[in-house]
């Protein structure tokens, strides 16, 4: 949780969440960390319960857990809500732990493969296009449309200022780029700086924010 959330509230909410979610079925342990600006709790759960059954964790369950924890935080008097990255306009998630460590060491084969593919296409066509972009644009447009519907509903409730804030948020979401497009943009900038030439042109919709 962001500062200045009281650490004891975070710990209490985590205890409630763990008790209601795992109860006596799965053993768990937790520790509160206050060494960073945002207080947080590490919760470790034994995947196999006392009857030999294992937890099956999927995306829908993770969303449900986030919502349950947010509710536990609200019960502690802390304003919290579980919203997805897409709704917040954040389409890029965290790298998996192993891939992240490899990337930090500069030894990520996945990153090297992507950069090689980008370099090849830039050299061949002078630009880079992302096949997954169409789906990303479709999702972003749907998110913006839903935020606008919320703003219209607020207008009907005479919440004019809040409606304006919602519209401003929707119109100023970060550019919707896939991870590969971000790499392509960085690579093009690297080429431009190393060659002392104008930046290599990417596809128009890569450079322009999606609205």
Give the span between the Cα atoms of 130 and 74, in whole angstroms: 41
What distance in Å separates the CA atoms of residue 185 and residue 205, rounded to the nearest whole number?
12
Segment 123-132, tens digit of pLDDT: 666 665 666 6
CA 33-95-177 angle, to 5 degrees, is: 120
Low-confidence ranges of the chain (pLDDT < 70): 84-112, 114-115, 117-119, 121-133, 177-188, 190-192, 194-211
Domain ranges of the chain: 7-75, 107-207
205 contacts 133 by C-beta, under 8 angstroms: yes
Asked whether 174 and 157 are in contact (CB, 8 A), the reply is no
A 10 A CB-CB count for 117 gives 14
Q: Which pLDDT score is estimated for 197?
A: 47
What pLDDT is recorded for position 200? Answer: 47
- The Cα–Cα gap between 81 and 114 comes to 35
∠111-115-117 over CA atoms, to 5°? 115
Closest to 93 in 3D by CA, of 174, 201, 189, 179: 179
pLDDT, tens only, 146-183: 889 988 998 999 988 988 988 888 888 877 766 666 66
pTM for this one? Answer: 0.46
């Amino acid at each position: 949780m962001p500062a200045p959330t009281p650490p004891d509230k975070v710990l209490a909410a985590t205890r409630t969440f763990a008790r209601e979610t795992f109860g006596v079925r799965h053993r768990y342990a937790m520790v509160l960390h206050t060494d960073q600006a945002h207080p947080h709790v590490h919760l470790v759960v034994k995947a196999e319960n006392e009857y030999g059954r294992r937890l099956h964790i999927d995306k829908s369950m993770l969303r449900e857990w986030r919502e349950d924890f947010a509710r536990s935080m609200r019960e502690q008097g802390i304003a919290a809500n579980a919203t997805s990255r897409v709704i917040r306009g954040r389409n890029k998630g965290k790298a998996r732990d192993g891939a992240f460590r490899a990337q930090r060491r500069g030894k990520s084969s996945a990153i090297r493969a992507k950069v090689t593919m980008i370099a090849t296409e830039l050299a061949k066509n002078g630009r880079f296009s992302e096949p997954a972009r169409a789906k990303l644009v479709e999702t972003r447009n749907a998110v913006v449309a839903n935020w606008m519907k919320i703003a219209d509903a607020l207008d009907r409730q005479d919440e004019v200022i809040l409606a304006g804030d919602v519209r401003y948020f929707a119109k100023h979401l970060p550019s919707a780029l896939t991870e590969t497009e971000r790499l392509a943009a960085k690579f093009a900038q690297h080429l431009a700086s190393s060659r002392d030439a104008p930046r290599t042109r990417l596809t128009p919709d890569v450079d322009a924010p999606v609205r």
